[in-house]
Amino acid sequence: VINATGVIVHTNLGRAPWPREAIEAARTVASGPLLLELDRDTGRRGHRYRAAEEALIALTGAQDALVTNNNAAAVALAVGLAGRGGGVAVSRGELVEIGGGVRIPEIVRRAGARLVEVGTTNRTRASDFEAALAEGRAK
């Protein structure tokens, strides 16, 4: 495949390759039974993504985490939770159309937030986001 799209890792051409360690870890987990939704303590159906959410919380120090199965859902939920009724800062370089014709500006609008563009299409700095927050243009 020759990638002439202008996007380094174009999602329509597949995803980024996994490191060898990740492949081995996945192989180990997939080679035996997996308690995907079974709560070991109660023997009842549990929360499918809780282990991943707990790992994310531990890694990031966040109050909570939510795992989704696609990018559009993740963006819509994050914007809806953090930006409802206010501005959400997005790098101009990320104002793209993702799979299925879903556009980031449309997701932000439908989630009830106002899009605040920061940076440029080829470079956005932390200071661009900091300025939008300090000026009250974004939450």
Structure confidence by residue, pLDDT tens digits, 59-98: 999 999 988 888 788 888 888 887 778 899 999 999 988 7
Pairing mode of beta strands 114-118, 87-91: parallel
Domain ranges of the chain: 35-67
Question: pTM, whole model, 2 decimals?
Answer: 0.63
Look at residues 137, 85, 74, 76 and name the one whose alpha carbon lies nearest to residue 108: 76
Q: In sequence order, which ranges of 3-64 are alpha helices (DSSP H)? A: 20-30, 50-60
